[in-house]
Structure 1
Amino acid sequence: MGKMIYLLEDDEGISEVLKLLFGGEGYGVSSFSSVSSFMDGIGEHAADLFLLDVMLPDGNGIEVCRYLKSSEKTRQVPVIMMSAHADRYDIRRGCAAENFIQKPFDIYDLLRLVAKHI
């Protein structure tokens, strides 16, 4: 298996498309639909990149990003935030993510961002 992406996305359709897309590029994907499941599963495999949605049913991706960047175990792992509602300024102010992509996004732009940071 290639590099591992941890995906936190509550929209099942987006999640499925991203898993297929990343899998086709040789990446492994662990997908989570809630903050609680993400936090429970974070220790299963070493992540090479975190891709986090902002608005989630039980929390906020910005808070998850803050947690990841404050933890010794995960602070060096790149984080890409994605949102239809927040913008780059909100993300930059909220956490130290390496990058941000606005939804709806171009699949090729997302693949380029992931390849750049992974």
Structure 2
Amino acid sequence: MRKISSIDSIVGAGGGTLIIKLAQNLPDSHPLKSWLIILAPAIALFIRYLWNFLSPEVTFRVKRWRTARNRKNLVCQIDSMLMDPILSEESKALLKVQSEQVKLSIIDELFQHIESTLPTK
């Protein structure tokens, strides 16, 4: 069973309050006003469900985007260092190995993500 976090509660309560405030600002003649006030708790629960469902995936994708940007910068730096005529062949060989490791780390990251999303026994 998943433990309810404070962020979940904030999203649920904040969402319901926001919907009620929105409904209160509508004119009395608006047909959705009473419905929004009545359905605010249910809508807030739905928002909370969506938050719980989407939050881990969004977090993963943001981290993956940042990591990809850092990898790209690192590979560019390594490539520019490989062009340096002063650098020894030993150093260049080490840089090539490190560049390959950086590129292969993408696979490791995706594999770890897939393992973390699989249900445990």
Tell me the TM-score range normalised by the shorter chain.
under 0.3
TM-score w.r.t. structure 1 length? 0.22
Larger radius of gyration: 2
Higher helix share: 2
Higher RCO structure, 1 or 2 (CA under 8 Å, sep 6+): 1
TM-score w.r.t. structure 2 length? 0.21
